[in-house]
Structure 1
Amino acid sequence: MSIGVWFVVLPGVLSLDLTGPAETLKLAGDAFHLHFIGPDPHVSTSIGLNFSGIEPLPESFPPGSLLVLPGVCDSNRYFDTPQAEAVRRWLTRLQPQIHSQQLNLMCVCSGSLLAAKAGLMNGVQCTTHHDVLARLRAAAPTAQVKENRIFIEDRGIWTSAGITSGIDLSLHLINRYCGPKPALDVAREMVVWFRRSGDDPQLSPWLRYRNHIHPAVHRAQDLLSAAPESAWDVQEIADKVHVSSRHLARLFQQHLGISVRDYLEQLRLAVAEQRLLQGQRMEQAAIAAGFSSPRQLHRARMRNAH
């Protein structure tokens, strides 16, 4: 089922705060359905480009929707307008939906200031652009404002640090709603680094070593990720990605900081751990993941525990 995403568009909106997350979510295909809403049917953006076709502000949303508040180029000016005041009052009326998490909220950059003025940040862990952290604290004295964070979530309210962090957060939301592979595919399509927040669990091996753009290494990783249980030989992998085995080994060390065999072992470990969580016995999990025996799986777990 498609998730409705509603972008609030105000005069002076930072174009990348809006288009960055919108393009990111759009690349996830039919998983998200985008809407653009606001008090005015057309506005001028931070770069002078005009947006039109903006829908009126709805009074309610389907459960599970995502409301996005982008930042503006001059929050002192553009959050002190009749349009911003109309949105503030409207957000205040939406508090019950947001606080019950029927409606999730995503604030990009200074968008968190507008949410704070509407009373949505009281007692919430949040962040914003470093230039307006003090103003966020003043607007929401009981908020738990965090510094040096790319993004943070608290009870269905997401806030991000500024501009490109909206893309980071959107990738994270694709991962949350659709899974790691669609998020990784979008990140690769956009040629951006799929980052996670500091409080998130460590990246799985399918994502942890993907922060590069070398096509041969990506092709090799795709092969191994598709069938980690197979009896892969380094020469076979190298042949399939059209490089020598020695060059492939160098590329893995250069771009991943790990050998081909160690990378494959980490994939197999992830598969085995998932099988164990599903209730399989050690021997079943080991064989299904590509290990020759439970002992080999145990040794791999010991090696990767350090």
Structure 2
Amino acid sequence: MSTRRHVHVLAVLPPRVLLLDLAGPLEVLRVAGGLQDEIAFTVSYVAPRPSTRCSIGLDLAGAAGLPDRIEDGVLVFLPGSAVRGLMPWPQAVDDEAENEAIVSWLRDTIRPTHTLVMVCEGASLAARAGLLDGYACTTHHANCGKLAAATPLAQVLDNRLFVEDRNRLSSAGVTAGVDLMLHLVARWCGPAVAVATARTLVVYLRRGPNDPQLSAWLEGRNHLHPVVHRAQDAIAADPARDWSLAELGRVSGASARNLSRLFQTQTGMTVTTAVNRARLALVTDLLERTGLSMEQIAERAGFGSARHMRRIWHQYHPHPPSSVRRGATI
């Protein structure tokens, strides 16, 4: 009997949906679903009309109507829409009627048991439904003022690629939606799967302000050298392991000396730095998500002691590890 867990994503299609806002993040899920066997992603599409014309003039057909209710645990995905498209559009009044139908549906349907993920102008629809009141959020930099006016009870951050506040996640739009979905894949499936997904999509530079534990997993990935990628994959999969150059060379198919040279050339950092940064990313994750002591965290992350962990930590962070725990939200 299969024990594979399922994540159900309900994608809501507004009129003039920006195709990259929609396709980019969902391609992340498609790729991630094929790279591991623990979680399966299911995507359903709903819209006010059966056919929706997207930003590049293509009609997207086959979406179901807006449902009367959504099961608990569903992730509701709101992509943005374009002001102008490449092809003739229906009258603007038709767009507003459809947008208002989505806003009304969101207001009546979204509950605390649902996760709301917004890309670009998708946040505006959620704001109009009152779903961002009391939350931090963001949108495309050109629309932050408009979003703040629409939801004065929200904290709109105008210098962020994406923002996560409890079960509300919003991004600046377009490619930032890919960053946001990689962030979620790392949480659901682990950083190694996020790394592999990004590599498959040729997204080697991971962006994620205020989320250094994830940027560390993909830092130094802006290259195409298979030997170095194999070494980086091994480190990401098990950062706590005692990685010697000889062992990493065996895993990646290079001599220790050649791997050391390639790693520095391709990533701009040493193997030791890469291992330490991956371990610190794991430390941050454990601090935020567990109540383990510093000694227990140091052991799980591959450091010899809490003192050793703190010494390495202060090479990269101005604040102590304990500040991460104090600022964490459960």
The TM-score with structure 1 as length reference comes to 0.81
Matched, 1:202 2:213: yes
Among 138, 144, 158, the alignment partner of 1:147 is: 158
8 A contact 1:269–1:301 mirrored in 2: no
Partner of 2:185: 174
The answer on 1:232 being equivalent to 2:244 is yes
Counterpart of 1:8 in structure 2: which amino acid? V
CA contact (8 A) 2:208 2:215 kept: no
- Secondary structure, in 3 states, of the residue corresponding to 1:90? helix
Give the deviation of 1:210 after TM superposition: 3.8
- Pick aligned residue for 1:55 from 42, 54, 64: 64
Q: Aligned in 2, Cα 1:105/1:263: closer, same or farther, shift over 3 Å? A: closer
Separation in 2, partners of 1:182, 1:58: 32
Which residue pairs with 1:28 in the alignment? 32
Query: What residue in structure 2 maps to residue 89 of structure 1?
Result: 104
Alpha-carbon spacing, 1:302–1:134, altered in 2? closer, same or farther (3 Å)? closer
- Alignment partner of 1:104 is 2:115: yes
The corresponding residue for 2:22 is 18
Is 1:9 aligned with 2:13?
A: yes
Where do residues 148-297 of structure 1 align in structure 2 (5 Å cutoff)?
A: 148-193=159-204, 195-203=206-214, 206-224=217-235, 229=241, 232-234=244-246, 237-238=248-249, 241-243=252-254, 245-264=256-275, 285=299, 289=302, 294=304
Counterpart of 1:137? 148
- Structure 2 residue matching 1:28: 3-state secondary structure: helix
**For residue 305 of structure 1, what is the aligned residue in structure 2?**
314
Q: Which amino acid aligns with 2:66?
A: L
Who is 2:130 aligned against?
Answer: 119
Q: Which runs of 5+ in 2 are unaligned?
A: 34-38, 85-90, 316-330
Amino acid at match of 2:133: N
Question: Matched residues in 1 for 2:189 and 2:245: separation?
Answer: 32
Moved more, 137-146 or 204-213: 204-213
Per the TM alignment, residue 241 of structure 1 is displaced from its structure 2 partner at its CA by 3.9
Cα contact 2:9–2:44 (8 A) shared by 1:
yes
Question: What is the CA–CA distance in structure 2 between the aligned matches of 1:50 and 1:18, rounded to whole Å?
Answer: 14
Question: Aligned to 1:302, what secondary structure does the other structure show?
Answer: helix
Size of the aligned set, in residue pairs, is: 294
Change (3 A) 1:216 1:38: same
Q: Specify the SS of the correspondent of 2:213.
A: coil
Structure 1 residue 69 corresponds to structure 2 residue 81:
no
* Runs of 4+ with >6 A deviation: 268-274, 277-282
Residue 260 of structure 1: how far off its partner (Å): 2.6
CA distance in 2, matches of 1:155, 1:271: 21
The Cα shift of 1:197 comes to 3.2
1:146-182 deviation line (CA, Å, top 9, x unaligned): 0111000123111110111111111111122222222
Shift of 1:254: 2.6
Unaligned runs of 5+ in 1: none
Is the Cα contact below 8 Å between 1:31 and 1:178 reproduced in 2? no
State how far apart, in whole Å, the 2-side matches of 1:139 and 1:281 are. Answer: 47
Distance 2:24 2:173 in 1: 11
TM-score by length of 2: 0.76
- Residue of structure 1 in register with 2:139 after alignment: 128
In 2 relative to 1, CA 188–60 (structure 1 residues): closer, same or farther, beyond 3 Å? same
What value does the CA root-mean-square deviation take over the aligned residues? 3.4
Aligned-residue offset at 1:216: 1.6
Q: Radius of gyration: which is bigger? A: 1
Contact 2:205 2:220 in 1 (8 A): no
Q: CA deviation at 1:257?
A: 2.8
Once structures 1 and 2 are overlaid, which stretch shifts more, 127-136 or 204-213? Answer: 204-213
CA displacement, residues 14-66 of structure 1 (integer Å, 9 cap, x when unaligned):
11111111111122215321001011111111111111110111122121111
Return the alpha-carbon distance in structure 2 between the equivalents of residues 204 and 163 of structure 1.
19
SS in 2 for 1:33: strand
For 1:268 and 1:87, locate their aligned partners in 2 and report how far apart those are by CA, in whole Å.
43
The question of whether the paired residues in 2 share the 8 Å contact of 1:265 and 1:300 is answered with no
CA distance in 2, matches of 1:270, 1:143: 30
Amino acid at match of 2:145: A
